[in-house]
Amino acid sequence: MTTRFKQLQDALSERILIIDGAMGTMIQAYKFEEEDFRGEVFKDKNNEIKGNNDILAITKPNVISDIHREFLEAGADIIETNSFNATSISQADYQMEDIVYELNVACAKIARKVADEFTALTPNKPRFVAGVLGPTSRTASLSPDVNDPAFRNVNFDDLVGTYKEATNGLIDGGADIILIETIFDTLNAKAAIFAVQTIFEKMDIELPVMISGTITDASGRTLSGQTAEAFWHSIRHANPISIGFNCALGAKDLRQHVAALSKVADTAVSAHPNAGLPNEMGEYDESPEEMAAQIKEWAESGFLNIVGG
């Protein structure tokens, strides 16, 4: 167990920890164009890469640093690397799968540097870096073709390979935690868990693993059909330091599912809901004060250990 692993456990035993908010919406506020994403490094690429937010860790590192810094100034204990789509499967959409390891290292190094700056100012409150493994743009359990239910556009081994590469980069870049998040397909998550454990064994290291799923609609289930309770039982073998839900729903609608999870999970429970549901313009109208009032009740109810938004 690393020193930071022990520090994280100690902090969780003392108080509710704050994880950062959405990186994507913070980046959107900069209104970057194609040339901003390209920078000097990728100026000669033949295909469009606008929207590839992860690549900004290489082309606009100061912007990513500033966003991390804003969340830490707001009180975050844990910041997430800007690596949600930094897997070979997702980066293939931009023909950039060949730089995935480098990209994950860059994402982790940026977060590590900023986190260490804040820890140095207040050593009694260490800041942690969660290396993010997103769900990828494919699903191993569901067919993307409604006319061919048996078809899959990715398999378990493909997912394991892509997650191993990303995990390796995140660890080499200095991540304290591996966060497998926005899980809509539990089979994808199991591939990520297997990949992470394989890398831990190979590197002779053990980092805390956070796991966070996504309830996709009012049915209270993930896209692959699991309730909160079933989701927990499917991944509990990973011995995560926390289990929770993020994205898709606002705090009001997510509450019951987080509460259900807290009743069955024998580990810390996390939640980072949306600011309500998107309006017709795709924007979120719920104010920080409105969300805080709802989250306060969650905290007082005692079923929450890590929270963000």
Q: What is the pLDDT of residues 88-147, one digit of tens each?
A: 999 999 999 999 999 999 999 999 999 999 999 999 999 999 999 999 989 888 888 788
Give the tokens for residue 3.
């020193």
Query: In terms of Cα–Cα distance, which of 160, 171, 56, 174 is closest to 111?
Result: 174
Specify the pLDDT at position 278. Answer: 61
Q: How many CB atoms lie within 10 A of CB 41?
A: 11
State whether residue 304 is helix, strand or coil. coil
Contact between 165 and 82 under an 8 Å Cβ cutoff? The reply is: no
The candidate with the shortest Cα–Cα distance to 140, out of 123, 160, 125, is 160
| Measured distance CA(62)–CA(68) in Å, rounded | 10
Q: State the virtual CA torsion across 19, 24, 26, 30 in degrees, nearest 10.
A: 160
Low-confidence ranges of the chain (pLDDT < 50): none
Q: In 3-state terms, what secondary structure has residue 142?
A: coil
Alpha-carbon span 129 to 53, nearest angstrom: 18
pLDDT at 282: 63
**Other beta carbons within 10 Å of 227:** 16
Q: What is the reported pLDDT for 151?
A: 84
How confident is the model at residue 275, as a pLDDT?
67
- Residue-by-residue DSSP string for 266-295: SSEEEEEEESS-B-TTS-B---HHHHHHHH
In the chain, what are the domains? 3-307 (3.20.20.330)
The pTM (predicted TM-score) of the whole model is 0.94
> Which residues is 244 bridged to in the sheet?
212, 270
Confidence at residue 279, expressed as pLDDT on a 0 to 100 scale: 65
| Type of residue numbered 294 | Q
- d(CA 167, CA 305) in angstroms, rounded, equals 25
Q: Compute the distance between CA of residue 240 and CA of residue 231 in angstroms, rounded to an integer.
A: 13
SS3 127: coil
Q: How far is CA 282 from the centre of its chain?
A: 21
Residue 134 amino acid letter:
G
What pLDDT does 115 receive? 99
Beta carbons of 136 and 164 less than 8 angstroms apart: no
* Nearest residue to 286 (alpha-carbon basis) of 18, 22, 66: 22
Residues in a beta bridge with 274: 250
Tell me if 138 sits within 8 A of 89, measured CB to CB: yes
In the structure encoding, which two tokens stand for residue 99, read together? 């730089």
Q: What gap in Å lies between CA 51 and CA 188, rounded to an integer?
A: 23
